[in-house]
Structures are given as structure tokens and as C-alpha cells.
Amino acid sequence: MKPFLKIQEVSDELGFHPETIRQWCRKYDGMFAIHIGQEWRIKREAYEALKAGQSLEDMKNGVS
């Protein structure tokens, strides 16, 4: 499995608009995503946590 996903992949899988994913990337930089060159890459573990129903705020606060 790839350790990072593209914005469009996460958008398609989770049903959020790509701009929403970009906003999360900027707000939760380092925790949710990393900037590689000029593109964001979403960390697989963050994507999996979202898919399982965990909120980004919970991830930020270390709540499982």
C-alpha cells in the first residue's frame, strides 16, 4: 500500500470536495498531510482514521 494519497483519491473515497481536503491539509499540516514539491500528499494513517470515523480534531488531540 502507498504511504501517501493524492487529494483527488481521498476526495473520491470519502466524498468530500477536493478544496475541503486542501483546507484540511493547510490546517493540519504535518499531522494529516505533507507538502511534497507543489502538491499535498495525505498520510495513509490519517486517511484510514477518517474513513473509520475519527475526526481530525480527535487526531490532533491524540484521541483514538
**Helices 7-14, 44-51: crossing angle, 10 deg rounding:** 10
pTM across the whole model: 0.86
pLDDT < 50 regions, the chain: none
pLDDT at residue 19, rounded to an integer: 97
Ramachandran quadrant class, 15 (left: phi over 0; alpha: psi -120 to 50; beta: rest): left
Domain span including residue 45: 4-54
Residue 60 lies in a domain: no
User: Looking at residue 18, which CATH number applies to its domain?
Assistant: 3.90.105
Residue 59 lies in a domain: no
Task: Output the nine-digit C-alpha cell for 23.
Answer: 483546507
pLDDT at residue 60, rounded to an integer: 82
pLDDT (tens digit per residue) in 36-49? 999 999 999 999 99
